[in-house]
Homo-oligomer: A and B are copies of this chain.
Amino acid sequence: MVQKGVVIVSGGMDSVTLLYDLHKKGFDLHALTFDYGQKHVKEIECAKKNCKALGVPQTIIDMKFFSSLAKSALTVKEEEVPEGNYTDENMKQTVVPNRNMVMLSIAASFALSNRRDYLFYGAHSGDHAIYPDCRPPFIQAMKNAFNLCDWNRVRLEVPYIKLDKAEILRIGIPLGVPYEDTWTCYKGGKDACGVCGSCTERLEAFRIIGYEDPLTYTKR
């Protein structure tokens, strides 16, 4: 029997790899993409393009109200997106407080309403240092909450939680993921900036596996 799942697709390289990975494995998928007022709206376009390419139905959830409630450098116009490595203290400015719990809980609601048993989420180990809500103990706490929130169950699956971005690329490249149609940069430019924490981490992952990133960058 085909398993039905909901997959959160931001349009970044991790969630798009997950989309291709699950599609290949034969899941009946419905993709959810959250528009929470992020400056990097280009990632939403990438999410759309990839869902369409695979024929996966997608719902874009308008969460723009969120940017007025929760302040962070990713959503507040006056705040500059910090540059440099993710390990730097200032990258904590990019945390939208509790964003992931909000997205996961809405996605679970959608899964429960539509009788889809699985909820897939592409958090990975590279996020752990900066984002508390990408860490395994948080994921475990959410799994517990999902076991108790409804008469029906939704199974949260986070298959890349122990992988880093380079390992994710090693899954995605053989699957033919079009990485030129994935967006990682936190700035809202026409091309990826190549210097923000997110670009730095992505370029490093491609360097590690010895594969050229097909995306156009302003600066490498």
**Residues of chain A having any CB pair with chain B under 8 Å:** 59, 61-63, 65-66, 69-71, 92, 95-102, 104-106, 108-110, 112-113, 132-133, 135, 137-138, 141-142, 144-145, 147-152
Query: Quick one: copies of this chain in the complex?
Result: 2
Which label, helix, strand, loop or mixed, suits the secondary structure of the A interface?
helix
Residue contact B69 to A109, C-beta cutoff 8 Å = yes
- Give Cα A102 to B132, complex, Å: 19
Residue contact A69 to B99, C-beta cutoff 8 Å = no
What are 11 A-B pairs at a CB distance below 8 A? A61-B69, A63-B65, A66-B109, A92-B151, A97-B109, A98-B108, A98-B109, A98-B150, A133-B150, A138-B148, A141-B144
Provide the residues of chain B in CB contact with A97, threshold 8 Å: 108-109, 112-113, 149-150, 152
- Give Cα A113 to B92, complex, Å: 13
Residue contact A112 to B135, C-beta cutoff 8 Å = no
> Can you name the residue of chain B whose Cβ is closest to the Cβ of A32?
B69
Residue contact A133 to B149, C-beta cutoff 8 Å = yes
> Can you name the residue of chain B whose Cβ is closest to the Cβ of A61?
B65
- Nearest Cβ in chain B — how far from A33, in angstroms? 13
- Nearest Cβ in chain B — how far from A161, in angstroms? 14
- Give Cα A3 to B88, complex, Å: 32
Provide the residues of chain B in CB contact with A112, threshold 8 Å: 70, 97-98
Return the 7 tightest CB-CB contacts between A and B, nearest first. Answer: A97-B112, A98-B109, A141-B145, A101-B105, A138-B148, A70-B109, A70-B113
Provide the residues of chain B in CB contact with A132, threshold 8 Å: 148-151
- Give Cα A92 to B150, complex, Å: 10
Residue contact B106 to A66, C-beta cutoff 8 Å = yes
If A101-B105, A101-B145, A142-B145 touch, whether A71 touches B151 (CB-CB below 8 Å) is: no
